[in-house]
Structure 1
Amino acid sequence: MPTAPTDLCRYPIVQAPMAGGGSGPELAAAVCGAGGLGFLAAGYKTADGMYQEIKQLRSLTDRPFGVNLFMPQPSQADAAAVEVYREQLAGEAAWYETELGDTDGPSDDNYEAKLAILREDPVPVVSFTFGCPSRAVLDAFAEVGTYTIVTVTTATEAQAAQWSGADAVCVQGVEAGGHQATHRDDPYLDGTGAGMGLMALLGQVREAVQIPVIAAGGLMRGAQIAAVLAAGASMAQLGTAFLATPESGANPIHKQALTNPLFTHTELTRAFSGRPARGLVNRFLREHGPYAPAAYPAIHYLTSPVRKAAAKAGDAQGLNLWAGQGHRLAREMPAGHLVEVLVAELDAARVVLGLPAAGGAV
């Protein structure tokens, strides 16, 4: 079993697990093949769907890879607030000629079934989002040789992960695209208190724990990777940077929107899922974001048919266009080549800093 995340791959670059189709076997295999650490996103998938993707990835690469799991979420949805939001979205459903979804879907994301598969047929790395597993779960993975990573958004969450037996933490700054991985979704922190920038958070976590730290949030260039490594991170995790690659499973409309001048900035919103997530500001986010209740995953299920209909219609204004703050720096190139470019940029930055080049034995 590796003692550090850098033992898993040649370069200190992790491809973020992007649930909803972005991070599939083709993308993970391309990143692994180029010397980075590729990830499958098991969120929103059935246990068998996750297993089939693992089998496919194994057929594409013999390099170490990771699988990301969503932690089960406590039920905190206010049924009345969800119904009010349903009424507000009735016009969206009519416009896209679809029905709103059933909000009674599972809140555990098939967590136990996925754990059973991953313990029975271990993968090199398993990471967790939206909470921290119990010590028993992390110990069970250690017994089968699986390296475990817990995504955190505060120093307190990082300490809890270390205490529970995680091998490393992934520190997610507020700049990151997609869902904020907070262990407790607190609507009172929405707005100005929604999160901390990566560099400030990285410094706090580095002083709070002794286990390795992976940095994530808005990273798009090799020089930024050099910066977080210099600040004490072992590796850098990039999501939006890989979203525009041909191997990404993201909708082509989503890929094009990343650099479309029509979409000038991102915001955190509950509009699409009921949990804070960073996306490009479009019509749906502007009109419904201020009114969306803290009700994940109920709102995710409610808006799912609308989002699918918008995608089918080619309408970016009705999609959840998850993206980090650095989205305008996205580059449309093969994922393996992107890793090579990032490494070259990282090495150039290290020369300026008087540090050795990236890399090492796989």
Structure 2
Amino acid sequence: MSSALTDLCRYPIVQAPMAGGASGPELAAAVSEAGGLGFLAAGYKTAGGMYQEIKQLRGLTGRPFGVNLFMPQPAYADAAAVDVYRHQLAGEASWYDTPLGDPDSGRDDGYEAKLAILRDDPVPLVSFTFGCPTPAALSPLKRAGTLTVVTVTTPEEALAAQHAGADAVCVQGIEAGGHQGTHRDDPANDGGGIGLLALIGQVREAVPLPIVAAGGIMRGSQIAAVLAAGADAAQLGTAFLVCPESGANVLHKQAMTSPLFNRTELTRAFSGRPARGLVNRFMSEHGPYAPAAYPEVHHLTSGLRKAAAKAGDPQAMALWAGQGHRLARDLPAGRLVEVLAAETAAAGSALALRHPA
């Protein structure tokens, strides 16, 4: 890992920024305090909400942390297709006794306002998802001493991040839970993502930037594997989602290891953008017909998902999860960092014994 990024954490363990409530100040603080790198998810929050969480996190730890931003999305969704999907969801709205949301509730997630706050009150690291920021957006952050990371899913996206001036890339394999961080959402590429180990190798040959590897990582042996493959650190989301400090709904946490949910798929059912989650009734019924329309579908189904959670029904919740979800361990976040670090060291030692220099 480059010296600048190495200085941010004792261990090469990054807690993924999981938007929707899981990655709040308590989780980020616990991870950073234990020697990992905690992350706040600013996605789906107002600029003011993000600022308040940063203040809260600073009150919990003096160690470095990151903040993740969603890039504004281009307006290319088919309005007619969104309207058809709205009618298909009418039965869900009736069942959960809640209105469907307004698909035109906003496309930019308060991006410019959040950037302005992060320029004026810098944090150690800022990462970007769903696109590549411009050099004009990254330069002021860099001048303020903030390291910048861009999520990529292909070598071409990594090259774009390098050209924009990013300090590092978060390489996201197809195994990852939650949304795929592709820079352009092309339905023609659905299901065509690259596995993490193969992607690390391709990105390593494409750009010289430090790599944070993400996608299905749940154990220290897997962290050691991605480090051996060329990554500088590993980012884990699902592994931290079940921790007591996580703000994820208890039904979501329980579903990770429940025998009722034994596999994951990529779906557009909940947000209109490919995202990996546990297969439930809503995904099975609506996934095949959900349009490529983010964030329109996200806004449309937001109330339904909240109503289902309130009703205690995980069958209509977005149960985001990586492919390794069955390996989730219900440990305090700080303890999980310690266990992962010990496992990583043990795996590295075992590899050295098998293949001495």
State the TM-score, normalized to the length of structure 1.
Answer: 0.96
Cα RMSD after superposing both structures: 0.8
Counterpart in the other structure of 1:129: 129
Of stretches 319-328 and 130-139 in structure 1, the one that deviates more from structure 2 is: 130-139
User: SS at the partner of 2:7?
Assistant: helix
User: SS at the partner of 1:267?
Assistant: strand
Aligned: 1:23 with 2:23? yes
Counterpart in the other structure of 1:289: 287
User: Following the alignment from structure 2 to structure 1, what is the Cα–Cα distance between the partners of residues 48 and 276?
Assistant: 29
| Shift of residue 3, structure 1, vs aligned partner | 4.4
Counterpart in the other structure of 1:358: none
User: Following the alignment from structure 1 to structure 2, what is the Cα–Cα distance between the partners of residues 256 and 349?
Assistant: 29
Counterpart in the other structure of 1:359: none
- Equivalence map 1:6-21=2 (5 Å): 6-21=6-21
User: Following the alignment from structure 1 to structure 2, what is the Cα–Cα distance between the partners of residues 245 and 6?
Assistant: 25
- Equivalence map 1:156-171=2 (5 Å): 156-171=156-171
Counterpart in the other structure of 1:256: 254
- Equivalence map 1:207-226=2 (5 Å): 207-226=205-224
Identity %: 76
User: SS at the partner of 1:354?
Assistant: helix
| Shift of residue 4, structure 1, vs aligned partner | 3.7
Counterpart in the other structure of 1:43: 43
The one-letter amino acid of 1:183's match is: H
| Shift of residue 237, structure 1, vs aligned partner | 0.2
User: Following the alignment from structure 1 to structure 2, what is the Cα–Cα distance between the partners of residues 137 and 288?
Assistant: 37
User: Following the alignment from structure 1 to structure 2, what is the Cα–Cα distance between the partners of residues 160 and 189?
Assistant: 19
Q: What is the CA deviation profile of residues 263-293 of structure 1, one whole-angstrom value per residue up to 9, with x for unaligned ones?
A: 0100000000000000000000000000000
Counterpart in the other structure of 1:152: 152
Aligned: 1:342 with 2:328? no
Counterpart in the other structure of 1:114: 114
Aligned: 1:67 with 2:80? no
| Shift of residue 259, structure 1, vs aligned partner | 0.2
Give the ranges of 4+ consecutive aligned residues of structure 1 lying more than 4 Å apart after TM superposition: none
The one-letter amino acid of 2:262's match is: T
User: Following the alignment from structure 1 to structure 2, what is the Cα–Cα distance between the partners of residues 59 and 132?
Assistant: 31
Match of 1:237 among 235, 238, 241: 235
Q: What is the CA deviation profile of residues 52-108 of structure 1, one whole-angstrom value per residue up to 9, with x for unaligned ones?
A: 000000000000000000000001111110010000000001110111111111100
User: SS at the partner of 2:45?
Assistant: coil
The one-letter amino acid of 1:81's match is: A
Aligned: 1:57 with 2:57? yes
User: Following the alignment from structure 1 to structure 2, what is the Cα–Cα distance between the partners of residues 196 and 109?
Assistant: 27
Counterpart in the other structure of 1:178: 178
Counterpart in the other structure of 1:303: 301
Counterpart in the other structure of 1:205: 203
User: Following the alignment from structure 2 to structure 1, what is the Cα–Cα distance between the partners of residues 15 and 262?
Assistant: 24
Q: Tell me how many residue pairs correspond in the alignment.
A: 352
User: SS at the partner of 1:8?
Assistant: coil
User: Following the alignment from structure 2 to structure 1, what is the Cα–Cα distance between the partners of residues 4 and 176?
Assistant: 23
Q: Structure 2: where are the runs of 5+ without partners?
A: none
Q: Is residue 4–residue 212 contact of structure 1 (8 Å, CA) maintained in 2?
A: no
User: SS at the partner of 1:328?
Assistant: helix
Q: Is residue 130–residue 182 contact of structure 1 (8 Å, CA) maintained in 2?
A: yes
User: Following the alignment from structure 1 to structure 2, what is the Cα–Cα distance between the partners of residues 5 and 82?
Assistant: 42
Counterpart in the other structure of 1:360: none
User: Following the alignment from structure 1 to structure 2, what is the Cα–Cα distance between the partners of residues 165 and 100?
Assistant: 40
| Shift of residue 5, structure 1, vs aligned partner | 2.0
